[in-house]
Amino acid sequence: LESIVPEEKTRIRQRWVAIDYKPGISPGIVRKYILQIISVSLLIIAVFLFWNYGLKREIDKRREAEKALNEAKHQLEDRVTKRTSELNQANEELRTMNEIITACTGTLHLKDILDFALDASLDITGLEGGTICIISPDDTFQLAAHRGTSDATISDLTTNEVKIGDCLCGNVARDAKPLILWNKDEVNSYASREAQRGENILFHAAFPIAIKDKPLGVLCIFTRTEKKPGNKTLALLEIMTSQISLAIENASLYEETVKNAETLEIKVTERTRELKEANSRLLDLDRLKSMFIASMSHELRTPLNSIIGFTGMTLQELSGELNEEQKDNLSRVYRSSKHLLGLISDVIDISKIEAGRIDIFPKEFLYAELVDEAVATLRPQLEEKGIAIVIDPVPKLTIHTDRKRLLQCFLNILSNAIKYTEKGSITLASKSTNDEIEFAVTDTGIGIEDSDMPRLFEAFERMQTRLKVKAGGTGLGLYLTKKIVKELLGGSISVQSIAGQGSTFTIKIPKKLKQATASQEQSVEVI
């Protein structure tokens, strides 16, 4: 390029680099842009028109859907309103039925129930009038309730004897089938009293009131207008008549029950008075009996003590020597006298307790000494039968109660165990608690049958066992023990037993006897 002369450079630049510049806007460019703008505008307008058309169609569809929705909504509202009205009517009918059932089973008088039932029937049907008639014992109708009836009808039913078969209602009651007359012609065709009087009855319905096959009355409703009830309403009235029939039947039974109750009450009052008088006489006799037995027993004990004393002296040969046969005979007399003295003492104690005339003498003493004395007293019997006795450790404590009576109870329980134990052992166990002392005697004897348990502590009761004759006794030991423990010492006595294995008698008494408890009534615990 450096070697090219300037002229050549100028020529080359002019030929290849020079720009032909003309001032102003090129018409071709203007036309191009105008065409582009027009095309874009037309496209936008076309899109807008298409979108507007589609939006219009959507709006039309939505308007049609809204119109259909409004129509469906109105239809649904109409159906809901209609259904609500039907439900309200059904609820009203059910409420009325419930009120009628409640009234029929309540304490209202029969007239009040029938008036209420007739009002409810007219409310349900919307009719203007009706009557309820019941059948009297002489098979005539008696007007029990009426609404909207004429004076002639009332007079006819109240002053005249209307027989069952002489009127429309009577036939319905007799046949026990509802009768529905839907128009004036049907009413006139039956020649009812209303039709004969020209009362212009346009609807009449009669429903029998009956219990099974027994007619009790009839419910009639009517109207002089064009308004008539539907079949469902009439079916409801037919159900209602069954409740009315129950009310009539219940009222009759109630009246009969009241009469019987009054008669029964008079008899019960008289019988109660007689029983009170008899009970008072029995109490006096029982008291006199106990006093008599106590007195007689005391009188018997005095000569018996003389027999025992002189027999003992004779056995000691203070009056001279005796041979073996005499000794044996006197020994038998001595033992029998001692046994008889024990029985008489038991009878005296029981009589005194029942008469409330026995005294107790509480004092303090060592419990262990009492147990030792009871065992020592009965040890000869234990040795005679060869029965071992096991004595658990006895609590060393002092108790405050009637020592003589408690010792008597211990001896009765121990001797009873010895009588009915042929072999084995007898166990004495004592236990001290906060306020009580417990004395338990367990034997390995014949036990007690379950059937004998209820009679165990009764007077003069002896169990049916093979040892009954051999063991002897009168059946007063346990009865007297129960009386002393419960009514004098304020304690309790219980028994556990298994037939053939043995028994356990348990006595519980308070450590400190606060007061006499002869008036207390306590039950015997039998386990």
> Per-residue pLDDT tens for 277-329?
888 887 777 777 666 666 666 677 677 778 888 788 888 877 778 888 888 88
pTM > 0.85: no
Sign of CA dihedral 253, 257, 258, 263: positive
Query: Average pLDDT for residues 250-267, to the nearest whole number?
Result: 73
- Torsion, Cα of 190, 192, 196, 197 (10° steps): -150
Q: Which amino acid is at 79?
A: R
DSSP letter (8 states) at residue 412:
H
**For residue 220, what are the β-bridge partners?**
131, 206
Q: How confident is the model at residue 525 (pLDDT cuts 50, 70, 90)?
A: very low
| pLDDT, tens only, 336-378 | 887 777 777 767 766 667 666 677 889 999 999 999 999 998 8
Distances (CA, A) of 435 to 46, 394, 483, 508, 510: 114, 16, 21, 10, 6
Query: What is the rounded CA–CA span in Å between residue 234 and residue 432?
Result: 82
Q: pLDDT of 64-105, one tens digit each? A: 888 888 888 888 888 878 777 766 666 665 566 566 555 555
**Listed ranges 124-128, 296-300, 327-331, 430-434; the one with the highest mean pLDDT:** 430-434
Residue 367 is predicted with a pLDDT of: 92
**Residue 445: is it exposed, middle or buried by C-beta count within 10 angstroms (0-12/13-18/19+)?**
buried
